[in-house]
Amino acid sequence: MAAPLASLEGACNNLAGKLKSVPAGECKSAGLNVAGSASVQGQPILWRDYRSVKSKTPAKRVLLVGGIHGDELSSVAVTFEWMRRLSDQEKQPFYWRVVPCLNPDGVLAKVSKRVNANGVDLNRNFPTPDWNSKATLYWNNKTKSDPRRYPGKRAGSEPETRWLIDQIKSFKPDAIVSIHAPYGVLDFDGPRTPPQRLGFLNLNELGTYPGSLGNYAGEFLGIPIITLELPHSEASPTVAQSGRIWNDLLKWLERNLPQGAPPLFQRLSDPNWLRNAP
């Protein structure tokens, strides 16, 4: 993987140019790290951790990802909004890893686009067991080769996808929250009873696709994954609306990831399995 070409400052200036709700100064002072690998065009992938000051036992871990699809700007904005909440809520009980924008090339394109700079839909590029047999067929037949949904030449072909897979393997999240738009629902994959609603978003299980993160993490790895579909790709929910989603999300996580419970996901704790996982 290529090292990032832009600094944190450059990345924040670029993002702020696209997102009115994310001022460059706030992005630069948000404690974000630059990942060791970059997007296809060398843009840094930014991330940071938030630890709970409250937790006595090892805190349950939650991975929060925005901007997998570059034209869903509201997903990046809401992730930053929730980073503000995490900074204020030191006593929330979880250990979070937050990735506000997994697909910076898509976001920063002149006209923001769903796919990355190689034209690959990252959310069809994860190495699900059915990828080789189904991803290309599905793309040809079900999407009529829609360029917005191209799964790539092979599973995990894209640096952004591979970086997130590495995060999942090393961070070992107990749950994943992935933010999208514009369907205005919430979707769920994996073990646990899904939340019926979070804020104004109601459960509507959309099913999984070959190569989707929901399929990879939820069905294959057995990590519960909540996919939020905000109602608009550009306009974000109000702070009050995203706050209610956040509060409901925390309640669901507290009910479903009790502290001190043994890890649900044995496979992620098994070094042999990890080495052999796609």
User: Which residue carries 């796919």 as its tokens?
Assistant: 115
> Could you say whether residue 149 binds Zn ion (CB under 5 A)?
no
Which pair of structure tokens corresponds to residue 169?
């393997």
Any alpha helices (H) in the chain, and if so which ranges? 8-18, 24-28, 73-88, 104-108, 136-141, 159-171, 213, 239-256, 266-269, 271-276
Residues 148-157 as b/e (b if ≥16 CB within 10 A, e otherwise) read ebbbbeebbe
Q: Which stretch binds Zn ion (CB under 5 A): 13-21, 135-143, 173-181, 211-219?
A: 173-181
Q: How far is the CB of 5 from Zn ion (least distance, A)?
A: 26
> Could you say whether residue 180 binds Zn ion (CB under 5 A)?
yes
Residue 163 to residue 152: CA distance in whole angstroms? 16
Q: By C-beta, is 92 or 178 nearer to Zn ion?
A: 178
Q: By C-beta, is 60 or 180 nearer to Zn ion?
A: 180
Side chain identity at residue 224, one-letter code: P
Q: How far is the CB of 264 from Zn ion (least distance, A)?
A: 26
> Could you say whether residue 69 binds Zn ion (CB under 5 A)?
yes
Q: Which stretch binds Zn ion (CB under 5 A): 36-44, 68-76, 85-93, 200-208?
A: 68-76
Residue 93 to residue 115: CA distance in whole angstroms? 34
Q: Which stretch binds Zn ion (CB under 5 A): 53-61, 165-173, 178-186, 257-265?
A: 178-186
Q: Which stretch binds Zn ion (CB under 5 A): 18-26, 46-54, 175-183, 208-216?
A: 175-183
Q: By C-beta, is 12 or 65 nearer to Zn ion?
A: 65
Q: By C-beta, is 69 or 113 nearer to Zn ion?
A: 69
Site string for Zn ion, 72-101 (x = CB under 5 A): x-----------------------------
Residue 221 to residue 62: CA distance in whole angstroms? 15
> Could you say whether residue 113 binds Zn ion (CB under 5 A)?
no
Residue 66 to residue 75: CA distance in whole angstroms? 5
Residue 221 to residue 231: CA distance in whole angstroms? 28
Q: By C-beta, is 79 or 256 nearer to Zn ion?
A: 79
Applying CB under 5 A, which residues contact Zn ion? 69, 72, 180
